[in-house]
Homo-oligomer: A and B are copies of this chain.
Amino acid sequence: VEVTTHSQNPNAVAVIGAGFIGCSYVAVFARAGWEVRIYDADPTFRSAAKERVASLLKQTGHGDNLKNVSVHDDLEQSLDGVRWVQECTPENLDIKQSVFIQLDKLCPSEVILASSASALTMTAIAEKVSMPGRCVVVHPTNPPHLLRFVEIVAGANTKPHVVTEAAEVMRAIGQYPAVLHKEIPGFILNRLQVALEREAFKLLACQVASVQDIDAAVSEGLGPRWAALGPFAVEETNAANIGVGLTKFRAYFNETMAELDDEPFDAVDDAFIALAVEGVRVAYGENCHDDLLEKRDNLLTGLKDMHQP
């Protein structure tokens, strides 16, 4: 067998692992015009991959971009000439460590090795690789082809330029990259999700409401609003501004709703309010209140139209 080594294509990616997240990530790269190579250790996943990607590409009207996608029976072949590897194997430390050792051996040093890990840290995953500097977590929201948010989390040895490049690549393919300042368990997406789930689970376990009603509090209430505005922007719009909002929040929740939380809102002191006010101004501008309200109402009106055609 003759092996031809191609020069690197800056718009070529290998997606390793063709489960739900893998196939959806393939669609994101393929619709942005990248050449995408798929590899999965399981032949069943390999043979199902192309059809699955085809259906995901169709969902967003990019069916033609399937021509950019190839499936490979051999890991090394799938990696030939790529600039980026997106690892999407199961969330299991042994598996990811072993995959990263292989990827590190097979890929030239300039290739970035990104993991879709949702909670395992790159410090742990890259523990045994020889070049941990090019390894970085790039964790998407499920499913990435329909949700833009990805969090980029450096391991202890990840080089800063790799983090910068990861953010650039994600922006280039249409995602919203957030670079975390610290490597913490659960990163930010799952920490936020689990915070809500924990309360939902408690409400069911304590028989306060049914599954249907707890879910509806989210899907018919909080969720559509959160589809427009994150929690800080919601605080900005619920009062005259976030400073007023958080000051009210502190007084109101610490007094009226003291029993609501097992831990008190120690963090909502004057220093935190100042930090949040400054953060909102940096994020949305000095006079953002009306713009945020308009963004909320536009999205909610659009959603209402979708539900009631």
A residues touching B (Cβ–Cβ < 8 Å)?
Answer: 59-60, 91, 93, 119-120, 141-143, 146-149, 151, 176, 178-182, 184-186, 188-235, 238, 252-253, 256-263, 265, 267-268, 272, 275-276, 279-280, 282-284, 297, 299-304, 306
Contact A257–B185 (Cβ < 8 Å): yes
The chain B residue sitting closest to A117, CB to CB, is B256
Q: Give the shortest distance, in Å, between A124 (CB) and chain B (any CB).
A: 10
- Known contacts A120-B256, A149-B220, A194-B253; 16 additional CB pairs below 8 A are A119-B257, A141-B222, A142-B225, A149-B222, A178-B213, A181-B209, A186-B257, A188-B208, A188-B209, A189-B217, A193-B231, A195-B195, A198-B265, A211-B282, A216-B230, A222-B226
Task: Jot down 9 A-B pairs with beta carbons below 8 A, ordered by A.
Answer: A119-B252, A149-B222, A180-B213, A186-B257, A188-B213, A191-B203, A195-B195, A201-B268, A212-B279
Q: Give the complex CA separation of A141 and B218 in angstroms.
A: 10
Select one of B179, B214, B230, B257 contacting A188, CB under 8 A.
B214
Contact A189–B276 (Cβ < 8 Å): no
Contacting residues, chain B, for A147 (C-beta < 8 A)? 220-221, 224-225, 300
CB contact under 8 A between A200 and B231, given known A210-B283, A221-B189, A300-B146: yes
Contacting residues, chain B, for A225 (C-beta < 8 A)? 141-142, 147, 223
Select one of B91, B238, B256, B283 contacting A252, CB under 8 A.
B91
Contact A235–B119 (Cβ < 8 Å): no
Q: Give the complex CA separation of A278 and B48 in angstroms.
A: 32
Contacting residues, chain B, for A283 (C-beta < 8 A)? 210-212, 215
Contacting residues, chain B, for A207 (C-beta < 8 A)? 181-182
Contacting residues, chain B, for A188 (C-beta < 8 A)? 203, 208-209, 213-214, 217
The chain B residue sitting closest to A262, CB to CB, is B263
Contacting residues, chain B, for A210 (C-beta < 8 A)? 178, 279, 282-283
Contacting residues, chain B, for A218 (C-beta < 8 A)? 192, 226, 229-231
Contact A119–B256 (Cβ < 8 Å): yes
Select one of B141, B186, B214, B234 contacting A221, CB under 8 A.
B141
Contact A208–B230 (Cβ < 8 Å): no
CB contact under 8 A between A209 and B256, given known A59-B297, A192-B200, A216-B230: no
> Which 6 pairs between the two chains have the least Cβ-Cβ distance?
A215-B230, A211-B279, A223-B226, A149-B221, A178-B213, A212-B283
Contacting residues, chain B, for A200 (C-beta < 8 A)? 192, 230-232
Contact B219–A233 (Cβ < 8 Å): yes
Q: Give the shortest distance, in Å, between A56 (CB) and chain B (any CB).
A: 9
Contact B199–A191 (Cβ < 8 Å): yes
Q: Give the complex CA separation of A184 and B261 in angstroms.
A: 12
Contact B304–A205 (Cβ < 8 Å): no
Contacting residues, chain B, for A181 (C-beta < 8 A)? 207-209
Q: Give the shortest distance, in Å, between A208 (CB) and chain B (any CB).
A: 5
